[in-house]
Amino acid sequence: MPRVLACLDETPAQDGSCAYQAWVDQASFSDFLPTHEQANAVGVAFLGALVVVAFVKRAFKPQR
């Protein structure tokens, strides 16, 4: 995780300087990606929802 310097003042000075600063960890986009297990669960739920929608559409669609 990259570290960035953050200003901890409630109201920073007009010139952009800070009285209190700290190094904090900044999350990258890869930290928000799901794990393999989470991705599998979402995929199964999505596929199941598509199957249900297709079934309901076909069941309630009048035949020509």
Query: According to the model, what pLDDT value does residue 18 have?
Result: 86
Structural domain includes residue 22: no
How far apart, in whole angstroms, are the C-alpha atoms of residue 25 and residue 23?
7
What residues make up the domain containing 60? 36-64
Question: Is the CB of residue 6 less than 8 Å from the CB of residue 24?
Answer: yes
Structural domain includes residue 23: no
Structural domain includes residue 61: yes
Structural domain includes residue 9: no
How far apart, in whole angstroms, are the C-alpha atoms of residue 18 and residue 39?
42
Query: According to the model, what pLDDT value does residue 62 have?
Result: 76
Structural domain includes residue 56: yes
For the chain, what is the domain count? 1
Task: Dump pLDDT digits (tens) for 3-43.
Answer: 888 888 888 788 888 888 999 988 877 777 788 999 999 99
Question: Is the CB of residue 5 less than 8 Å from the CB of residue 26?
Answer: no
Structural domain includes residue 43: yes
Query: According to the model, what pLDDT value does residue 1 have?
Result: 67
Structural domain includes residue 50: yes
Structural domain includes residue 30: no
0.75 surpassed by pTM:
no
Query: According to the model, what pLDDT value does residue 13 have?
Result: 81
